[in-house]
């Protein structure tokens, strides 16, 4: 065991990798030596956003979906991943292993048990994932992003830390007082969804905007994230309504876009909800209906149940085309409501999430140091 080395294990999607990277960067600033264990998907994500980060890939797959032979092969891959993880532990000699969910985090945490190393587990979503629920009884502490997270393990210590969000979101100015929106003082609506935008939003949102009164349409400025193959059609739809708009498949400076926004329409991935809360902006969440165990709806409810955002399901929006229009109109015609929601959202954000997570990791280091003496 080496006193300043930590292994971080994360699933292969941005939802797992990005919070893990935030913790990794915070640890490195404090002098820790960190290494990632993930699958080839996670490696691809890290190569894009943090090519300098040390990472090793392990074998992992979901054993709960597909035909019997596929599940059996997944169990074999996970077992091989445990062997790989034991090897990396023996080679890197960390004092602690921290998992961030997804099946690639399972082998390292199981290996931590085998090697009798302390381990922690961070859950990003308010609906605790299946892999994390399985692993929770094998770790020292489970770290939660949301107050109302469920289901929770019965025998494992749990600690509410929040989800790490870049400081730049918290540093945005509070939402300003506005009396009204018009062509000279437009209402800025930011529409985001996933890393490249939600495909359904390219139809759903302009349809809702088209049903707004013409004078309201003229007071809008739309900034929308969209799949590149849908961009020209979306721009044509807004141009036909004389709505000012900017459409792009990717925004490099999302905090800047949120700073300009009066209203945000978004999916409800854990990172999106946490960033919107940190930025302090009024939001309408349309959760991705196929999210596992409907975890996006549960994420959104952490704000919507406190009247800090509005929840519209995709099914509702598709079955009643006027519903989203009505919700938008309730905000566009009432800037005071936007300000109230923005303030409530920011109060629900966990500004010290990174500090709490690192303090918990440090406590593992202190325990390991005492045990070694």
- 106 neighbors 131 (Cβ within 8 angstroms): yes
CA-CA distance, 224 to 123, in Å (whole number)? 29
284-302 per-position pLDDT tens digit: 999 999 888 899 999 999 9
> What's residue 194's pLDDT?
64
- Local confidence band at 131 (pLDDT 50, 70, 90 cut-offs): confident
Q: Is the pLDDT of residue 368 over 60?
A: no
- Local confidence band at 249 (pLDDT 50, 70, 90 cut-offs): confident
Q: Is the pLDDT of residue 241 over 60?
A: yes
Task: Give mean pLDDT, residues 53-63.
Answer: 89
> What's residue 81's pLDDT?
94
Q: Is the pLDDT of residue 373 over 60?
A: no
CA-CA distance, 155 to 301, in Å (whole number)? 26
What torsion do the CA atoms of 319, 322, 325, 326 make, to the nearest 10 degrees?
-110
Average pLDDT for the chain: 91
- 275 neighbors 165 (Cβ within 8 angstroms): yes
CA-CA distance, 49 to 33, in Å (whole number)? 19
- 128 neighbors 101 (Cβ within 8 angstroms): no
Least confident of 190-204, 230-244, 252-266, 324-338: 190-204
Q: Is the pLDDT of residue 1 over 70?
A: no
pTM (2 d.p.): 0.89
Highest mean pLDDT: which range of 225-229, 252-256, 302-306: 302-306
Total Cβ atoms within 10 A of residue 168: 16
- 3-state DSSP of the chain: CCCCEEEEECCCCHHHHHHHHHHHHHHHHCCCEEEEEECHHHHHHHHHHCCCCCEEECCCCCCCCCCHHHHHHHHHHHHHHHHHHHHHHHHHCCCEEEECCCHHHHHHHHHHHHCCCCEEEEECCCECCHHHHHHHCCCCEEEECCCCCECCCCCCEEEECCCCCCHHHHCCCCCCCCCCCCCCCCEEEEECCCCCCCCCHHHHHHHHHHCCCHHHHCCEEEEEECCHHHHHHHHHHHHHCCCEEEEECCCCCHHHHHHHCCEEEECCCHHHHHHHHHHCCEEEECCCCCCHHHHHHHHHHHHHCCCCCEECCHHHHHHCHHHHHHHHHHHHCCHHHHHHHHHHHHHHCCCCHHHHHHHHHHHHHHHHHHHHC
226: tokens are 């969209």
15-32 per-position pLDDT tens digit: 889 899 999 999 999 999
Q: What are phi and psi of 212, to 5 degrees?
A: -75, 150
> What's residue 292's pLDDT?
82
> What's residue 370's pLDDT?
53
- Domains of the chain, first to last: 5-164+352-372 (3.40.50.2000), 169-348 (3.40.50.2000)
> What's residue 313's pLDDT?
96
- Local confidence band at 2 (pLDDT 50, 70, 90 cut-offs): low
Q: Is the pLDDT of residue 92 over 60?
A: yes
28-49 per-position pLDDT tens digit: 999 999 999 999 999 998 998 8
178-216 per-position pLDDT tens digit: 988 988 899 999 999 865 567 899 999 999 999 999 999
CA–CA distances in Å: residue 313 to residues 208, 284, 307, 318, 324 = 14, 10, 16, 9, 10
- Local confidence band at 61 (pLDDT 50, 70, 90 cut-offs): confident
> What's residue 70's pLDDT?
84
- Local confidence band at 369 (pLDDT 50, 70, 90 cut-offs): low
- Local confidence band at 66 (pLDDT 50, 70, 90 cut-offs): confident
């Amino acid at each position: 065991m080496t006193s300043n080395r930590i292994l971080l294990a994360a699933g292969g999607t941005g939802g797992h990798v990005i919070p893990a990277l935030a913790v990794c960067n915070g640890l490195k600033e404090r002098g820790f030596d960190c290494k990632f264990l993930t699958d080839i998907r996670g490696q691809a994500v890290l190569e894009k956003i943090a090519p300098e980060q040390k990472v090793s890939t392990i074998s992992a797959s979901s054993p709960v979906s597909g035909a019997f032979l596929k599940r059996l092969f997944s169990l074999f891959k996970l077992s091989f991943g445990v062997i790989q993880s034991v090897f990396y532990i023996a080679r890197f000699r960390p004092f602690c292993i921290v998992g961030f969910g997804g099946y690639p985090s399972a082998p390292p945490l199981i290996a931590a048990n085998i090697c009798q190393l302390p381990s922690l587990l961070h859950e990003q979503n308010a609906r605790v994932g299946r892999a994390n629920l399985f692993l929770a009884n094998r770790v020292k502490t489970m770290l939660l992003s949301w107050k109302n997270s469920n289901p929770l393990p019965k025998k494992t210590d749990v600690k509410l830390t929040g989800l790490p969000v870049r400081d730049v979101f918290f540093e945005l100015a509070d939402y300003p007082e506005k009396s009204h929106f018009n062509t000279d003082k437009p209402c800025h609506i930011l529409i985001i969804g996933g890393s490249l935008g939600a495909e359904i939003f390219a139809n759903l949102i302009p349809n809702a905007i088209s049903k707004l009164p013409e004078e309201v349409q003229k007071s809008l400025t739309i900034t929308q994230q969209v799949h590149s193959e849908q961009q020209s059609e979306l721009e044509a739809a807004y141009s036909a309504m004389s709505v000012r708009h900017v459409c792009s498949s990717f925004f490099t400076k999302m905090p800047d876009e949120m700073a300009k926004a009066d209203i945000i329409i978004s999916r409800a991935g854990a990172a999106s909800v946490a960033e919107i809360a940190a930025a302090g902006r009024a939001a309408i969440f349309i959760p991705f209906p196929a999210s596992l165990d409907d975890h996006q709806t549960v994420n959104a409810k952490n704000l919507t149940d406190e009247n800090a955002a509005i929840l519209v399901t995709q099914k509702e929006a598709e079955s009643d085309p006027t519903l989203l229009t009505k919700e938008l109109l309730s905000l566009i015609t009432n800037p005071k409501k936007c300000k109230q929601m923005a303030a409530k959202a920011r109060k629900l954000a966990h500004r010290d999430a990174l500090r709490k997570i690192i303090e918990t990791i440090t406590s593992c280091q202190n325990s390991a140091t005492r045990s070694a003496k």
